[in-house]
Each structure stands twice: as structure tokens, then as C-alpha cells.
Amino acid sequence: EAGVVQSPRYKIIEKKQPVAFWCNPISGHNTLYWYLQNLGQGPELLIRYENEEAVDDSQLPKDRFSAERLKGVDSTLKIQPAELGDSAVYLCASSFNRGQGRTGELFFGEGSRLTVL
């Protein structure tokens, strides 16, 4: 079974440029997460989707970040315009949650490493 797939793995851009990251979750997983991981830090949640609905985007900087999950499967995270401080690894994860029965077992992709110059 294929795992969570993310692309691109690496991206280098100049500040003020736009960038987009794509995530394909594990088939059948209804919950999708985007996490931000700064160097030497643990992952921090940016947004969580239940199917196609964003149920928690409280930590997403909405002035420059946007995300979508069309048809409740793939997802795209966009930054426009990028700033120097956005250099980090963007992790996508998925899980299957039935109702309120959350297991906490997330399956992570390998991440997209962004460098903003």
C-alpha cells in the first residue's frame, strides 16, 4: 500500500515568490493534516481536514497561507508571498477517524523542504 506522497521534496525560491506543495494521502484516510516543522523543533499543526472540510485552521497564517482539499482526497498548501521565515519542512499526514474515535496514529509523508532566499 502506498504511503502519503508529497511533492516537491525540495524547493528553493526567492522571497516574495509563491510556492505550492501537494499531498496525496493514504487511500481511504478521511483526515488530512498539514504540519510545519522548523529546524530543531517538533511539528506544529497548520490545518486539519475532515474529508473536504477544514475543521481546524486556527494556526494557519491566513494572510499568506492557503490550503484546499478538493473532493476530500488530495490537498494543496500554498504560500504567497513567501518570506524568509517560511523556510522549513512542510509535512503532510493522514489518518482514518471514525466519528469521535481518534486514534492519534498519523501516517506522515517525507515532507517538502522549503528554502526561501
Partner 1 sequence: AQSVTQLGSHVSVSEGALVLLRCNYSSSVPPYLFWYVQYPNQGLQLLLKYTTGATLVKGINGFEAEFKKSETSFHLTKPSAHMSDAAEYFCAVMNYGGSQGNLIFGKGTKLSVKP
Would you state the cell numbers that stand for residue 72, as one nine-digit string? 476530500
Residue 108 CB, shortest distance to partner 1, in Å, is 3
Residue 45 CB, shortest distance to partner 1, in Å, is 5
Cα angle: 94, vertex 16, 5; to 5 degrees: 20
Cα angle: 52, vertex 54, 59; to 5 degrees: 150
Interface with partner 1 includes 106 (CB under 8 A)?
A: yes
Interface with partner 1 includes 110 (CB under 8 A)?
A: yes
CA distances in angstroms from 54 to 32, 46, 82, listed in the order given:
9, 11, 22
Cβ atoms within 10 Å, residue 50 = 14
Nearer to partner 1 (CB atom), residue 74 or residue 110? 110
Would you state the cell numbers that stand for residue 105, as one nine-digit string? 496514529
Interface with partner 1 includes 117 (CB under 8 A)?
A: no
Nearer to partner 1 (CB atom), residue 13 or residue 106? 106
Q: How many of the chain's residues bind partner 1 (CB under 8 A)?
A: 26
Residue 17 CB, shortest distance to partner 1, in Å, is 24
Task: Choose, by CB under 8 A, the member of 8, 14, 51, 55 that binds partner 1.
Answer: 55
